[in-house]
A and B are shown apart, each in its own frame.
Chain A
Amino acid sequence: MDLNSILPSLWGGVLIGVAVTVMLYFNGRVTGVSGIIASSLTKPNAEGMWRWFFIAGILLGGFFVNWVRPELFANLSGRSTTTVAIAGLLVGYGTVMGSGCTSGHGVCGLSRLSVRSAVATITFMFCGFLAVIFMRFLSGGF
């Protein structure tokens, strides 16, 4: 660990903090990405249109990052397509069941000192560790 790996993460985190604060101050909304994606599919009405605008903003932001710093999208995980597909199913199913993900519980909820979000964050971090340990076990790489 050195400053060169910490500082981009810290500044990225600050940008995320500013973004979710703008959402709260102007729109009074929590920036929970899993909830926004799920509700954009099930409630595509005029009142929920802000969710589609948010998703469009993320995709435009992604294009911008890919234009200036394409290496930020490198995926050197070595995970197979099947593993990634199973991961996606679990993340989609679990985040709707548990009412949130890293952004809604981990950033917005912890910032509000929500007990529910603290329990959710501890749970998903712990199970994230378990899954990584499991994958190490499968590949024999302890």
Chain B
Amino acid sequence: MANRTKQNLISLAVGFLFAIGLGLSGMTQPHKVIAFLDPWNWDPSLLFVMVGAIGIHGLAFMMLKKRASPLLDTRWHFPTRKDLTARLVIGSALFGLGWGLGGFCPGPSLTSLSSGNFLSVVFVGAMILGMLIFKKTESLLKLRD
């Protein structure tokens, strides 16, 4: 089997596992996300999603970064940039506003599509539109990449 085919099958399995993790964690319930971001009615349980995910992946990254390459590719693809840009901060701020308004971020909203939930369909449609609008208007912003 060619490496590319294996990479595709790994991606399929990772997506499947990732979606189960998101569902179990509570991230696919927008009211839980909103309660996590609400100082008046704070529900800290979603903090433990980060604890679990970063606990595992932080340790794994420390061990893996010593390897010359991943198993199915000739090089690593993780970003190595260190510069802080206006684009990074403004983009993250807009994302945060949307996250608090809707209670959805990209992964959980995509996972929720499979439930047929109407609001998740609206959210994902609008999100894809927002992505395409950014790509179309990127050159007008005059912000350094």
Distance between Cα atoms of A67 and B124 in the complex (Å): 21
For B107-137 the 0/1 string (1 means CB < 8 A from A) is 1011111111111101111111111111100
Chain B interface size range? 35 or more
Which residues of chain B from 70 to 106 have a CB within 8 Å of any chain A CB?
70-73, 75-79, 81-84, 87-106
Q: Are A57 and B11 in contact (CB under 8 A)?
A: yes
Q: Shortest CB–CB separation between residue A142 and chain B, in angstroms? A: 7
Minimum CB distance partner of A113 in chain B: B58
Cβ 8 A contact of A96, one of B37, B54, B93, B134:
B134
Chain A interface size range? 35 or more
Most A C-beta atoms less than 10 A away, residue of B13, B39, B79: B79
With A12-B22, A83-B101, A126-B96 already in contact, the answer to whether A31 and B14 are too (CB < 8 A) is yes
Which residues of chain B from 9 to 33 have a CB within 8 Å of any chain A CB?
9-31
Distance between Cα atoms of A2 and B85 in the complex (Å): 40
* Chain B residues with CB under 8 A of A44: none
Cβ 8 A contact of A73, one of B20, B112, B129:
B112
Does B56 make an interface contact (CB < 8 A)?
A: yes
Distance between Cα atoms of A108 and B53 in the complex (Å): 9
Most B C-beta atoms less than 10 A away, residue of A31, A65, A120: A65
Q: Are A9 and B78 in contact (CB under 8 A)?
A: no
For B28-56 the 0/1 string (1 means CB < 8 A from A) is 11110010011110011111111111111
Q: Are B57 and A17 in contact (CB under 8 A)?
A: yes
For A75-90 the 0/1 string (1 means CB < 8 A from B) is 1111101011111111
Does B139 make an interface contact (CB < 8 A)?
A: no
Distance between Cα atoms of A136 and B104 in the complex (Å): 17
Q: Shortest CB–CB separation between residue A118 and chain B, in angstroms? A: 10
For A96-120 the 0/1 string (1 means CB < 8 A from B) is 1111111101111111111110011
